[in-house]
A and B are shown apart, each in its own frame.
Chain A
Amino acid sequence: MTQIHKLLIANRGEIAVRIARAAQELGLQTVAVVSDADTGSLVAQMADEVVNIGAAHPGKSYLNADAILRAASETGATMVHPGYGFLSENAAFARRVTQQGLIFVGPSAETIECMGNKSVARETARRAGVPTVPGSTGTVDDLETAVVVAAEVGYPVMIKASAGGGGRGIRVANSEAELRQQMPLAQGEARAAFGDDAVYLERFIARARHIEVQILGDGKNVIHCYERECSLQRRRQKIVEEAPSATLSQGTRDALCEAAVRLATAVGYCSAGTLEFLYDDESSEFFFIEMNTRIQVEHSVSELVTGVDLVREMLRIAMGEPLRYTQDQIVLKGAAIECRLNAEDPERNFMPQPGKLSALRWPGGPGVRVDSHVYAGYTIPPFYDSLLAKLIVWDEDRASAIRRMQRALAETRIEGVHSTVALHQELLADPSVKSGHFHTGYLEQWMAQRAAAKAQALLPDLTAH
C-alpha cells in the first residue's frame, strides 16, 4: 500500500505556488506555512491547511526551523519542500527534518554540506575530472599564502567566501596591492554574512558567460536536462535566462552536460540540482564554479525545452521512486526564455516597490507561461524579495521565442507599482541580446550606456530654457 503523503511547503512567493501545483497534481495533501505578512497569500488560498509560523521578518518565520518543524508535527506532514532561498541549502535543517522522521525534498544533509561548501565542491569536481576555474586548493587562511596563490593563478583574482552564495561575499583584486587591501575586508564580510571567514581565490574571467546544467538524480543514476544560459545579470542577480544557450556548439554542449552528470554521480546525487559553470566564448572552455542543491528560480526554462516537470520529478524522487527517464528520453526541443518581472523601478536605481497592485493583466496564448503568486488587489509586502512573476515563453527557435516574449511583455499590465516590464522590452530589442552575444558584465554595461544616452537626450531641453 502506498502511503498518502502530506507536503509542507517551507517557502513563500511564486515557488510556494509552483510546489503546491506539483503536489496537487500528484494527489498530495499540502500545508502552507505563512508569516504574519503572508496570511492572504496565493499559496495560503491554494493549500489544504495553513499554519502561521511567526512575524514578518524572515528570521522569525521562513528561517525559523523550530516553528516550521512544529507546524509539520502539528499538521501531520510527512514531507518538507524547502523551495529556494531561506532554508533550502541549510544542511542542519535538512538533518532535523529527517531526524523528525520526515522526508526532506532535496538531497541528503551530507550532500548539501559537501556541495554547498564551495571549496569542498571544487575539490570534489577536480577529483571527478571536471575542470574548475584556476584557483586555490581549498581555502586560503592568511594573506601571505593568498599572495603566493594569486601569483600562480594570475590576476585579476576573485576572493570568494567559502560559505557564500547568491553572488554575495565576492571581491575582485587586480593586483597584489589590491589583494592585500581586499582580503581582510572579504574575510570580515564573510564572517558577518555567513558566520565563517574562510575564503578562497579564483581567477577572474572578465568576459565569461554563466551557463548552468540542470540535473536529476535518484541516488544511483543521474540525467541532465541540458543547460541554461544565465549571463544577463545585474549585481550578480539573474534577470533573463534562456535554454538552450545560443553560444554552445553541440560538441561543447555534450561535453558540458556530461561533466555535470559525472560530478553529480560522484556524490551520489539524489534530487534536482544545478551545476553552475563559467564559459569562455573565446577558448570554448568551461569551468565548474558551484552546485546549487535545490530547485532554482529559472528551472522553468528547462521544463519548457524538455517537457519534464522538474518539481514533480523532485517530489517523486523524494518519495523513493527511481528516475522515470533515461538520458536518451530527454530531448531538447525549441527555445525558452524567462524574464524575471520585479517590483522595482529601473528609472530610480531599481528602488523596491512594495505596495498594492491596483490592476493586473497577464499575457496568454500559445507558448506563454506565468509563474506568479500575485493577483489584482494583492499588497506586495516590503519584507521579502521583489520578484513579482516569472514570464516564460517557448517557441520553435530562439528568434521566434524572443518575438513571442516581446508580444507577451506588451500584453502585460502591472499597475499600482513600478516594475521591470518596460526594461525587459528594451533589453530584448538590443541587437547583441537578439544575436546572443553577451557575457555576465553585459547587462550592467548596457544599463550604463542607456542611462548616459537618456542624460544626453535631456540636454537640448536644458539648453533651450
Chain B
Amino acid sequence: MAEILSPLPGTFYMRPAPDAPNYKQIGDSVAIDDVIGLVEVMKMFNEVRAEVSGKVVRYTVENEDPVEAGQLLLVIE
C-alpha cells in the first residue's frame, strides 16, 4: 500500500475540466509520474503526480474538497 499526499494546501480536483472524466477511477492502474489530480492554490493549478506505481484502491477526498499540505488524497496498492 502506498499513499499519495497533497503537496500543497488548496482545492483538490479529480479531473482536468468540469466536463472531463476523472484522471483515475478505482481499480485503474497508476504508473510513476501519472497525474492523479490537481490542487488549485490561489487560482494556480498544480498537477499531483504519482511517485509509485500500482492500482487505485480509493480516493480519500472528494472532487473540489479543500485539502491541506500533506493530506492523504489517494491510496495505491
Contacts and interface: CB of A to CB of B under 8 A. Distances in A.
A384 B42 contact: yes
A395 B44 CA distance: 35
Contacts of B44: 351-352
Contacts of B40: 383
Interface of B: 8-11, 17-19, 40-44, 64, 66
Interface stretch (A51-59, A123-131, A243-251): A51-59
Interface residues of A, number: 17
A57 B41 contact: no
A385 B43 contact: yes
Given A382-B8, A382-B9, A382-B10, A57 B64 contact: yes
A383 B41 CA distance: 6
Contact of B17 (A192, A354, A382): A192
A139 B44 CA distance: 29
Given A57-B64, A57-B66, A386-B42, A354 B19 contact: no
Contact of A192 (B9, B10, B19, B43): B19
Contact of B41 (A37, A55, A56, A354): A354
A236 B64 CA distance: 26
A382 B64 contact: no
B42 A343 contact: yes
A352 B43 CA distance: 9
Given A57-B11, A192-B19, A382-B10, A352 B42 contact: yes
27 contacts: A56-B66, A57-B64, A57-B66, A60-B64, A192-B17, A192-B18, A192-B19, A344-B42, A351-B44, A352-B41, A352-B44, A354-B9, A354-B10, A354-B41, A354-B42, A382-B9, A382-B10, A382-B11, A382-B42, A382-B66, A383-B10, A383-B40, A383-B42, A383-B66, A384-B42, A384-B43, A385-B42
A60 B19 CA distance: 18
Interface string A189-226: 00010000000000000000000000000000000000
